[in-house]
Amino acid sequence: MDAKLLARIGAVAFVAVAITATVLELTRKEERPEITPARPAQAGAADPLRAELLRCQELGEAGPRDPACLRAWAESRRRFLMPRTTPSTSPSRASRPPSETRGEGAVLSDDE
């Protein structure tokens, strides 16, 4: 057999497999799950800022021009970027002597 003939047979087989795979993929039906909005039932009652942010989201392009939305976004940024207080400054730790607070969170060995 000639090398060119084998190359042609290989190319034809490759193209046939590629076409078959494409047809199978295109005829396959995708099962899409129903997308439901993931909103908590009482988002407005728990946090008024969250309710305002949801309202601003629904405004779409008018949101950036709404002064209430601008205030809500500023408050949201402030809450997100505000540094958290560390547990070491809590009153319960501050009232204990330093010998009792040493090693909290560390695993102590039996000989300590």
The pLDDT tens digits of the residues spanning 13-68 come to 999 999 999 999 999 887 777 777 665 555 445 788 899 999 999 988 888 899 99
Write down the residue that tokens 């099962």 correspond to.
Answer: 31
CB-based burial of residue 101 (10 Å sphere; 0-12 exposed, 13-18 middle, 19+ buried)? middle
Global pTM exceeds 0.85? no
**pLDDT of 92:** 52
Number of structural domains (the chain) is 1
Is residue 86 within 8 Å of residue 94, measured between CB atoms?
Answer: no
Which residues form the domain of 71? 45-80
Is residue 10 situated within a structural domain?
no
Q: Tell me how far apart the alpha carbons of residues 52 and 76 are, in angstroms, rounded to a whole number.
A: 10
Is residue 34 situated within a structural domain?
no
Q: Model confidence over 73-82: pLDDT tens digits? A: 999 999 889 8
Is residue 87 situated within a structural domain?
no
* Position 7 pLDDT exceeds 90: yes
At 99, the pLDDT band (50, 70, 90 cuts) reads low
Is residue 66 situated within a structural domain?
yes
